[in-house]
Amino acid sequence: MSRVPPAAVALLLSVALFFLAGLVQPNFVNAAQAINIVRLAAFLGIIAAGQTLVIISGGEGIDLSVGAVVTLGAILTFMISGGSSERLWLALLVVLAVGAAIGLVNGLGIVFVRIPPLVMTLGMAGVVQGTILAVTRGNIPGGVPRALANLVTGRFLGVPGAIYLWALLGLLMWFVLQRTRYGRELFAVGVNRRTAALSGVNVSGVVVLTYTLSGLLAALGGLLLLGFTQRVFLTLGETYLFPSIAAVVVGGTVLAGGRGSYFGTMAGALVLTMTESLLRSMRIGEAYQMIVFGAILVVLLSVYGRQRERE
């Protein structure tokens, strides 16, 4: 096959960028730096997992509440555990349940009240963000459980835990998308809801479940992110919102739905994180970073678009 899958294009690009960085900054290319970049990408990748499912589900699917839910997940973990490793399990359960509940409401609003996903999830982001602010009034008591910090930053064979967790999630996502009925029906729903419904797929159920999973995964991302940042603040998750969408798209998942993979999103997260690290190490200002990001997005998408036309 002459066609290269977008996921591979993105992966190759991130590797190429890494060595390109070596030409500009010779001290950039080493194992420690590579591991550091992959670790940074891991958090973006985990947060973008739910976004991948939502975008595959089509119907203008997008989840703009992931940023707020990430923040909420981190804050809940911080407050519920109060720094105690024993209470981490309780925090995990509550965080997953709350994340899933938020996603469920998104899904129900989109499917049954027919609110466009963009509006529904944007509204939800506001509600979650506002509730956090109203309840905490900016004063958040709690702590980071040592077990969580160890899990995320502790190293095994020189590789931080976050990377193992990400790899595990990658396998899990592959399994869900390729080896479960839900995964197969999700792609069908993404391509054509009418065909799916007339073939006996419970389209509403699939869409609601997808937004629920997105909420759950974003909240989990928030919990893990806390282990890395070791502190909470009200804009913690916000900075991940647009990168989470960009990572999915750079990874070749089609915004119109029905085509894509989580491996693509993982590669996309690497490309974005890699680029950011490179630009930062070159001391390029934020304005130019944004220009470069935008340009990468446009160039990659036009390459994918051309490939599809040839199909």
Is 192 buried (19+), middle (13-18) or exposed (0-12) by CB count in 10 A?
middle
Amino acid at 120: M
Contact positions with other proteins (CB under 8 A) in 168-187: 175, 179-181, 184-185, 187
Quick count: other Cβ atoms within 10 Å of Cβ 218? Answer: 32
Contacts with other proteins, 235-264, as mask; x by CB under 8 A: -----------------------xx-----
Spatial CA neighbour of 81 closest among 217, 221, 227: 227
* Gap between the Cα atoms of 298 and 311, Å rounded: 20
C-beta separation of 80 from 213 below 8 A: no
Amino acid at 5: P
CB of 288 to other proteins, least distance (A): 37
CB of 119 to other proteins, least distance (A): 20
Q: Confirm or reject binding of residue 200 to other proteins (CB under 8 A).
A: yes
Stretch that binds other proteins, among 114-122, 154-162, 190-198, 262-270 (CB under 8 A): 190-198
Sequence-ordered list of residues with C-beta below 8 angstroms from that of 23, at least 6 positions apart, any chain:
none
Contact positions with other proteins (CB under 8 A) in 58-77: none
Strand partners, 156: 159
Contacts with other proteins, 129-168, as mask; x by CB under 8 A: ----------------------------------------
Cβ closest to other proteins, residue 114 vs residue 194: 194
Among 148, 188, 218, 266, binds other proteins (CB under 8 A): 188
* Gap between the Cα atoms of 179 and 138, Å rounded: 44
Residues at the interface with other proteins (CB under 8 A): 175, 179-181, 184-185, 187-188, 191-192, 194-202, 258-259, 311
